[in-house]
Structure 1
Amino acid sequence: MNLAQLFRHETELKKLAAGEVLFKEGELGGVMYVLMSGATEIVVHGRIMETSEPGAILGEMAMIDNVAHSATVIAKSDCTFLPIDQKRFNFLIQQTPNFALHVMRVMAGRLRKTDACL
């Protein structure tokens, strides 16, 4: 599921320049993001765990469980992000079951990668 395609007509986007931080490990998160353009690095305890490309979701775990972010996300290039708050997230999972399954698969994959590196 390419979320950048799904949300391609959205206009309320957050922009970051290369090197800027979307959020930091330990910060509270109430919003998840879809990376619409650019590339990011996901960093956990100072280690780059993943490079994200358009369509990636970021910040989903902190939004779902309302706990601090477990990673820092840094714009590797100029980026645009679509913020998805809790209300919109709930609507999406109710109306689009494949969206919920996609989020779960992303979370499971990231947890497996993190576990393998520890």
Structure 2
Amino acid sequence: MYLLGDHSPAVNGLLRTANQAAQALTRVLPEKGLSFDLMAGAILGEHIPKGQIIVLRAGTLTAALGGRVGYIHQAGDIFGFEGIHAANEMSYQAEEPVSLMCYETEPFYAWVAADPTRARLWNDYLTAVCALFGHAYTDTIKDQHRPQAGFIRFRAGDTIVRQNDPIEHVYTMMRGSARVLVDGVEVGEVRDGEVFGAIAAINQSPRTATIVAREDCTVMAVPEEQFVALLQAHPDTAMQVMQGMARIINDLNRKLAETQKHNQPHV
């Protein structure tokens, strides 16, 4: 489980507690649950029976409150779908194919209570998750410069952005890689974790390059105006973006030098 954005040491400590407790519990969970495999884009409320404790065995899920992504569940996380979803209007969506194991609540709680170590781990997990949920909920009602991010999936060969198109979003490559083309010539690559589209957002200019998925990939899209506000509010984020832009520019310069060398007449 992790929260989007930068957080205080206290919040990071809660995340560590929750993740460690969940991992310790899932290592000893009995294989007697109901298994579900869902495709990317699936909404859990449309597939999972009510009154279940859910273990995410593979993949990632976004948890949204009031339409805003509050945190992301990773493999090994445990959550009570009916309790959290019904009480707090939390919705869960698969951002990629996911595998789930579901347990009836009463047998699950009986299994936890039968062992003091399991009971302590479950208490640690619930305490941390409740505190983190409160943190995520507080963020949804604060007037802060935080981007409303959305995830988009592309197939290999799909065009993510086109050169000279108007700027609407800035993207982060969450999974996969993409080719960078200027005037049809490949000049670089976008890799995992890198931001692209930032130059046009900062300069308020059309797209400077075409980005084509080299493989199946997932990107996070942030509206351009929110991205600019984020840079103004968080200088450390601005530095990370500039480092990524510098690498892309270096790739472009290297490609240009190689092209010029190749085109030099042989004596």
- Using structure 2 for the length normalisation, give the TM-score: 0.38
CA contact (8 A) 2:166 2:205 kept: yes
Letter of the 1:68 partner, please give it.
P
Q: Shift of the alpha carbon at 1:49?
A: 1.6
Specify which structure has the bigger relative contact order, considering alpha-carbon pairs within 8 angstroms and separated by 6 or more residues.
1
Deviation at 1:53, TM superposition (A): 1.8
2:169 matched to which residue of 1? Answer: 31
* Cα distance between partner residues in 2 of 1:81 and 1:87: 18
SS of residue in 2 equivalent to 1:73: strand
**Partners of 2:194 and 2:165 in 1: how far apart?**
20
Distance in 2 between residues matched to 1:29 and 1:75, nearest whole Å? 18
Q: Which residue identity is paired with 1:114? A: L
- 1:87/1:26 Cα in 2 relative to 1: closer, same or farther (>3 Å)? closer
CA offsets 1:63-115 (integer angstroms, 9 cap, x no match): 12221111100011111110111343244324432110111222233334334
Higher helix share: 2
Instruction: Quote how far apart the aligned CAs of 1:62 are.
Output: 1.1
The answer for the alignment partner of 1:3 in structure 2 is none
Secondary structure of 2:218 counterpart: strand
Is the CA contact 2:179–2:188 (under 8 Å) kept in the aligned structure 1?
A: yes
Cα gap change, 1:31 to 1:38, in 2 (>3 Å): same
CA RMSD of aligned residues (A): 2.5
Q: Percent identity between the aligned chains?
A: 24
Alignment partner, residue 9 of structure 1? 72
- Using the size of structure 1 for normalisation, the TM-score is 0.80
Give the unaligned 5+ runs of structure 1: 1-5
Structure 2's unaligned 5+ residue stretches are: 6-70, 74-94, 96-149, 258-267
Once the two structures are superposed, residues 24-70 of structure 1 have per-residue CA deviations (whole angstroms, 9 ceiling, x without a partner) of: 11111121100111111111122212222210111111112221111
Structure possessing the higher radius of gyration over alpha carbons: 2
Residue 136 (structure 2) pairs with residue 73 (structure 1) = no
